[in-house]
Structure 1
Amino acid sequence: MTSQPSREDYAPNIVALISARWRDHADAVVMRYADEDDRWIDVTGAEAQAMVDATAKGLVARGVEPGQSVGIMARTRIEWSILDVAIWSVGALPVPIYDTSSASQIDWITSDADIAFLVVETAEHAQLARSVAQDSESPLREILVIDEGCMDDLRAAGAGIPDSVIAERAALATLDSPATIVYTSGTTGRPKGAVLTHLNFVRHTYGIQEELDDVLLFDGASTVLFLTLAHSLARLVEVVLLASGTVIGYCPDSRKLVPYFASFQPTLILAVPRVFEKVYNSAEQKAAAGGKVKIFRWAAKQSIDYSRALASPGGASLPLKVRHAIADRLVLSKIREVLGGRARHAISGSAPLGERLGHFYKGLGLQVLEGYGLTEVTAASHVNRTRLSKIGSVGTALPGFEVRIADDGEILMRGDMLFAGYHRNAEATAAAMADGWFHTGDIGHEDDQGYLYITGRKKEIIVTAGGKNVAPAVLEDRLRGYALVSQCVVVGDAKPFIGALLTLDAEALPGWLKAHGLPELTVAEAAADPQVRAHLDKAVERANGAVSRAESIRKWDVLTDDFTVENGYLTPSLKLKRAQVLRDFADDVERLYAPAAR
């Protein structure tokens, strides 16, 4: 491992970091976006820089000042990145807003961050924003719409601005300057705005490039970016990819993700666990529809067994190697093709992937590197490395971080990537910090090599009536890995035993029913069907195998409505709003503990 450069050797800000790479890759492709016919359009480093400069000039012409907050509300598309870098290039602060945000959420963020200038994607977004702007107390004054040609309008408006103005503006920010305000997705109340600095991103980029050079820094490295750029992890990924020259293919519509994998052929997959679960479940359902589900499951077992054997001292036996080769020819190679055929590495974050899926993907030739982090530590503090990855852990700390485990198991961190505090919220900042250490709210432990294992959220720990402390995440993650389960909420605080509420995956249901020889059923019918429930009972039993009897699920039930972003039970980053679920489904929880339920 090479030594990290000193602060004096860093690029002076994010713009300088990215622009240097684009100069070095002036004639090389650095971005790709799909046209209306889903054909990929290439953008070179020189073209990307020209697009940013022209947009930056337009922002200056429209009155954007240094230090001003500028909002971006859009799906993950090339315009997002062009705007992001252009706003930094004029010395301003891009502030992301989830494209699924309600009027009240837009109102809160624009007011708290004092956003007068907002760029949105669609006419629907603009309508919501304009309803907010009508309030006389709202700072929001100008709303531009990407779908209505605002990028061309900005370029036209800035045609008369000299290059020297942008050069001067781009040099204004120092490493200590605020770079952005990222609002947490708000699982427990109103979102807090984490202020992240240029140092946070620049220092982080150097460390990630050093540790993942074999993933990012080689000719032909590429990925499809579909994670929402309003989330801190996707935002960090964006900066690292732009600064590394890794080709980004933008995917605004997650429904097109699989065909985009096939046409783009990425070398790196960046996703949340649910995507890996969906790929596995879809492959299983397709096999079932063709009458080959037994072959699929046999092949999946060979993949898992092979991966586990690779981690053992003796390695894989000859008979296992033969079985794995047959499984690869029959099934595993086809799944690699679904992912484009060139991917050898994947990075997964936001929730645990699960040991079983981790081994499955490694066995088919895709090494999934799990990571961990929070917005307040610039999205990523830990990640597994290709050279030594421990499935089930989130890896070791990235350069620049110090980690400590408190007496109660809470993970504490400090370092160069620690945020500058919550915007206009000194009280919340003080509550999150103690003696320079950020209290993550997550519970975990480190092994003797510094690999971190996450066991749950401190605030989510369930204390049963018998005094047993239970971390619900272990059970919930295992149950969500079952093809038929969409969401799971483990309950039992101050109750005599642990229970759970499950929801069904409506997309997976038809294929699952066919694979199990069952007739077509609606979600509501399936939730009550004895055979469906018998399979769910087995899934619960398997999940219980990961915990002690006192922590195991004794009673469970199925809700007929799923938890989604649209109905307000999931955050835009797909985290469960547990408190809201427990409040709104309190009667369903109580039924688990009614005398007749025992």
Structure 2
Amino acid sequence: MIQFNSPLSAFLHWEKVIPNRVFLKQPIEGKTITYTFEEAGIEARKIASAIKGFELPNHSHIALLSKNCAHWILSDLAIMMSGHVSIPIYPTLTADAIKQILEHSESKLIIIGKLDNYESQKTGIPDIPKISADLYGETEGSLWTEIVLKNEPLSAIYVPQLNDLHTIIYTSGTTGVPKGVMHTVGNFTASVGIIYRGLKLKEQSRFFSYLPLAHIAERVGIENYALVLGAEISFAESLDTFAQDLEACQPQLFFAVPRIWAKFQEKILEKVPQKKLSVLLSIPFLNTIIKNKLKKKLGLRFSEVVVSGAAPLSTSLMQWFEKIDVTIFQVYGMTEDCVISHCNRPGIINKIGTVGKKLESVYVKLSPEGEILIKNDCLMTGYFKAPEITAEVFENGYFKTGDIGEYDHEGYLSITGRVKDQFKTDKGKYIAPTPIELQMSTNTNIEQICIVGTGIPQPIALITVGENGKSKSKTELSDSLLATVNEINPTLEKHEKIEKVIIMKEDWTVDNGLTTPTLKVKRNAIEKIHQPYYKAWFKMSEKIIFE
């Protein structure tokens, strides 16, 4: 690996070495716009020149509000080239949430990119300069196409230093108000170096970017890893074209969250029911053909590393994908530790049900309560403007993750829950919901699940159902869920046994505030809405209740 001192130096290297190689592929309206490394460099420099024209103080904070697209990457490069600090904002946030982050981060300028509903968000943006990527329809402030047409590329590019503040990443807020996690240039450089040595992908591999680039995992593991490898990055045009865009890309590295894997399985089983699939996979001469066909359709025909993170993935789902030759490596990391913690990876045993072994430079301690404490070479420097909260989450240089875990005798870590997710029933017994949720998730009718039980004698399961479940009659669905409860209850302690399953009327989505942008269930938000009904549901005679 070439030793790069910053993400920008990695890009500048490949711009010089392979200027004519395609770097970015952006589908739009059925066509694909491509940017070579040279073209991306020229365009980013012109945007950097425009940023310089606003005469902002050195190391000013520049916000970036956009879905994943070529212009997100170009904007990030331009912010680096002009010597400023990036403030990525999730493209699904409300106007109020955007305003909160812009004001807290003291952003001096905002770049507006590809968005689904900017009209509802624009009131959250204060009176600061704006640059709009008008290719996607937004036309506020300075227009990207006019800047590229009129500006000369910035000639004096800023040279980032390892200790420079590189970005402030606001957490997705599963609990409470988002916090601004500060990372230096050196943190990103160290993090990507560890990923490079761990995954060992070839230079100029193909990547597919669709999970929010405002999130640390996509930012480091896709954008910045791609910069180090001189890789090609493709994007999805929309949710409707996601499957065909991924199939067209066939990336060597693919990263997903548990919800995506469940959706993939659901789509396959819609076309090929499980009984038929099992039969086809049992026939020797058809086995390989079927596997390759399924992998090609998923976009994973040439994948070398397939990763799942952000939340625990059920062992049954991982085993199901293994049967079609898709090996999923489960990983564990956080915004605060720059995603450098633990992972299963090529070259070591992929132990399903664990998040793997600790990575290089990682030191771990478990508190008496089992909380995981992490120290590495790329821990955040702290939360922006929150020294008291920063002090609370560190203990002798170790970051307190809030996750509870345990190691096996081979050094593989299993996450057994969140400290804050544990709840107490009115019997006074504490329950960790995550392991029970994973067991329940083996039922393919379940889309999302949240085990709750505060103030009632036994826990109940709040669920939403996927397309598979929605296609069934109420009786069929109830029988299926009851069978799952009857199967797992004997494996649970007496106080953990599930008493009821409540089927929600509406799905939990980013739009209604019940999942994060990375599709994790927001337990606090769900409990706030539904806790008043727990006692009434508990008293009902039915085991399966439709809300």
Q: Which residue of 1 aligns with 2:353?
A: 392
Corresponding residue to 2:179 among 172, 192, 195: 192
Query: Would you say the 8 A contact 1:111–1:139 is kept in 2?
Result: no
Instruction: Provide the alpha-carbon RMSD of the alignment.
Output: 2.5
Q: State the distance in 1 between where 2:54 and 2:129 align.
A: 12
Q: Per the alignment, do residues 541 and 82 of structure 1 end up closer, same or farther by CA in structure 2, a change over 3 Å counting?
A: farther
Amino acid at match of 1:585: H
Q: State the distance in 2 between where 1:246 and 1:162 align.
A: 24
Which secondary structure state, in structure 1, belongs to the residue aligned with residue 404 of structure 2? strand
Is 2:247 the partner of 1:233? Answer: no
Cα shift at 1:498 = 1.8
Query: Would you say the 8 A contact 2:425–2:454 is kept in 1?
Result: yes
Query: Would you say the 8 A contact 1:203–1:416 is kept in 2?
Result: yes
Q: Per the alignment, do residues 547 and 19 of structure 1 end up closer, same or farther by CA in structure 2, a change over 3 Å counting?
A: farther
Q: State the distance in 1 between where 2:488 and 2:146 align.
A: 55
Query: Would you say the 8 A contact 1:55–1:86 is kept in 2?
Result: yes
Corresponding residue to 2:522 among 564, 574, 577: 577
Q: Which residue of 1 aligns with 2:228?
A: 243
Query: Would you say the 8 A contact 2:68–2:114 is kept in 1?
Result: no
Q: State the distance in 1 between where 2:237 and 2:65 align.
A: 12
Which residues in structure 2 correspond to 1:113-152 (within 5 Å)? Answer: 113-121=105-113, 127-128=119-120, 130-133=122-125, 138=126, 140-142=128-130, 144-146=132-134, 147=136, 148=138, 150-152=143-145
Q: Which residue of 2 aligns with 1:81?
A: 73
TM-score, scaled to structure 1: 0.84
Corresponding residue to 2:277 among 287, 296, 301: 296
Q: Which residue of 2 aligns with 1:469?
A: 430
Cα shift at 1:71 = 0.8
Which residues in structure 2 correspond to 1:308-457 (within 5 Å)? Answer: 323=282, 325=284, 328-329=287-288, 331-340=290-299, 341-388=301-348, 389-457=350-418
Q: Per the alignment, do residues 415 and 141 of structure 1 end up closer, same or farther by CA in structure 2, a change over 3 Å counting?
A: same
Q: Deviations over 1:252-271 (max 9, x none)?
A: 42332211122222222211
Q: Which residue of 1 aligns with 2:208?
A: 224
Q: Deviations over 1:349-405 (max 9, x none)?
A: 111221122122223222211111111111342221111121111112222221111
Richer in helix (by share):
1
Which secondary structure state, in structure 2, belongs to the residue aligned with residue 33 of structure 1? strand
Which residues in structure 2 correspond to 1:531-570 (within 5 Å)? Answer: 531-544=476-489, 547-570=492-515
| Unpaired runs of at least 5, structure 2 | none
Q: State the distance in 2 between where 1:84 and 1:77 align.
A: 11
Which secondary structure state, in structure 1, belongs to the residue aligned with residue 368 of structure 2? coil
Is 2:72 the partner of 1:91? Answer: no
Q: State the distance in 2 between where 1:207 and 1:123 align.
A: 33
Q: Which residue of 2 aligns with 1:26?
A: 19
Amino acid at match of 2:20: D
Q: Per the alignment, do residues 326 and 473 of structure 1 end up closer, same or farther by CA in structure 2, a change over 3 Å counting?
A: farther
Query: Would you say the 8 A contact 1:490–1:498 is kept in 2?
Result: yes
Q: Per the alignment, do residues 326 and 460 of structure 1 end up closer, same or farther by CA in structure 2, a change over 3 Å counting?
A: farther
Q: State the distance in 2 between where 1:29 and 1:337 align.
A: 22
Amino acid at match of 1:295: K
Cα shift at 1:41 = 4.1
| Unpaired runs of at least 5, structure 1 | 303-322, 514-525
Which secondary structure state, in structure 1, belongs to the residue aligned with residue 92 of structure 2? coil
Query: Would you say the 8 A contact 2:72–2:113 is kept in 1?
Result: no
Query: Would you say the 8 A contact 1:114–1:139 is kept in 2?
Result: no
Amino acid at match of 1:273: P
Q: Per the alignment, do residues 181 and 357 of structure 1 end up closer, same or farther by CA in structure 2, a change over 3 Å counting?
A: same
Q: State the distance in 1 between where 2:401 and 2:99 align.
A: 27
Which secondary structure state, in structure 2, belongs to the residue aligned with residue 459 of structure 1? coil
Q: Which residue of 2 aligns with 1:153?
A: 146
Q: Per the alignment, do residues 573 and 78 of structure 1 end up closer, same or farther by CA in structure 2, a change over 3 Å counting?
A: same
Query: Would you say the 8 A contact 1:371–1:380 is kept in 2?
Result: no
Q: State the distance in 2 between where 1:374 and 1:296 align.
A: 37
Q: Which residue of 2 aligns with 1:50?
A: 42
Query: Would you say the 8 A contact 1:10–1:203 is kept in 2?
Result: no
Q: State the distance in 1 between where 2:369 and 2:270 align.
A: 43
Q: Deviations over 1:476-496 (max 9, x none)?
A: 234345332222110123532
Q: Per the alignment, do residues 19 and 478 of structure 1 end up closer, same or farther by CA in structure 2, a change over 3 Å counting?
A: farther
Q: State the distance in 1 between where 2:184 and 2:263 align.
A: 35
Query: Would you say the 8 A contact 2:23–2:231 is kept in 1?
Result: yes
Q: State the distance in 2 between where 1:362 and 1:324 align.
A: 17
Query: Would you say the 8 A contact 2:402–2:420 is kept in 1?
Result: yes
Query: Would you say the 8 A contact 1:76–1:226 is kept in 2?
Result: yes
Is 2:478 the partner of 1:486? Answer: no
Q: Deviations over 1:9-30 (max 9, x none)?
A: 9533321133223333323333
Which secondary structure state, in structure 1, belongs to the residue aligned with residue 420 of structure 2? helix
Cα shift at 1:48 = 2.4
Amino acid at match of 2:452: V
Q: Deviations over 1:431-481 (max 9, x none)?
A: 111111110000011223322111111111123344443221122234345
Q: Per the alignment, do residues 471 and 76 of structure 1 end up closer, same or farther by CA in structure 2, a change over 3 Å counting?
A: same
Q: Which residue of 1 aligns with 2:241?
A: 256
Q: State the distance in 2 between where 1:593 and 1:130 align.
A: 44
Aligned residues: 535
Q: Which residue of 1 aligns with 2:461?
A: 500
Cα shift at 1:297 = 4.3
Q: Per the alignment, do residues 178 and 333 of structure 1 end up closer, same or farther by CA in structure 2, a change over 3 Å counting?
A: same
Q: Which residue of 1 aligns with 2:534?
A: 589
Which secondary structure state, in structure 1, belongs to the residue aligned with residue 214 of structure 2? coil
Amino acid at match of 1:419: M
Cα shift at 1:127 = 4.0
Is 2:169 the partner of 1:182? Answer: yes
Which secondary structure state, in structure 2, belongs to the residue aligned with residue 378 of structure 1? coil
Q: State the distance in 1 between where 2:520 and 2:456 align.
A: 24
Query: Would you say the 8 A contact 1:226–1:252 is kept in 2?
Result: no
Percent identity over paired residues: 27
Q: Which residue of 1 aligns with 2:95?
A: 103
